[in-house]
């Protein structure tokens, strides 16, 4: 299945620069910016430039871009001083409404800078 670019998608608008973003990292395939509702001292969203509704769809449609997404997330964590050797961070990919996904453009949350608890809510 192939997903067309969505002119109404919020994260597509951020990627295109039509909605302002606090950008922390960008590659040919990915774009990363600070979450507007941070849940931790560091809270960055890493998204593919390609419009697909969730990470599972990205793996199915463009697996090399899913690898690029996780590589970008790891690089963001390193940039933010959160690499595993520095204490670590959490990556979250809410997938579907039961998981509280609210923006249906694939994204990974990179969260850190405070102790994390388990299980997540």
Residues that bind ligand DGP (CB under 6 A): 10, 19, 21, 33-37, 45, 94, 100-103
Is 107 an active-site residue? Answer: yes
C-beta of 85 vs 102, nearer to ligand DGP: 102
Q: Are the CB atoms for 49 and 15 separated by under 8 Å?
A: yes
Whichever of 21 and 56 has its CB closer to ligand DGP, that residue is: 21
Ramachandran class of 96: left when φ > 0, alpha when ψ lies in -120 to 50, beta otherwise: left
Identity of the residue, 87 or 96, whose beta carbon is nearer to ligand DGP in the bound complex: 96
Is residue 92 a contact partner of residue 120, using CB atoms and an 8 Å limit? Answer: yes
As a whole number of angstroms, the distance between CA 38 and CA 112 comes to 10
Give least dist CB 104 to ligand DGP, A. 7
At closest approach, how far in Å is the CB of 95 from ligand DGP?
9
Largest CA distance in the chain: 40
Q: Which residues belong to the active site?
A: 107
């Amino acid at each position: 299945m192939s997903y067309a670019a969505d002119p109404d998608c919020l994260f597509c608008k951020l990627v295109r620069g039509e909605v302002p973003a606090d950008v922390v990292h960008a590659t040919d395939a990915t774009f990363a910016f600070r979450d507007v509702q941070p849940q931790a001292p560091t809270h960055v969203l890493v998204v593919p430039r390609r419009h697909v509704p969730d990470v599972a769809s990205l793996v199915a449609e463009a697996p090399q871009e899913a690898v690029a997404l996780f590589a970008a997330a790891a690089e963001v964590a390193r940039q933010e001083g959160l690499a595993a050797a520095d204490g670590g961070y959490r990556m979250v990919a809410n997938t579907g409404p039961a998981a509280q996904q609210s923006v249906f453009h694939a994204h990974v949350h990179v969260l850190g800078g405070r102790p994390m608890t388990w299980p997540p809510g």
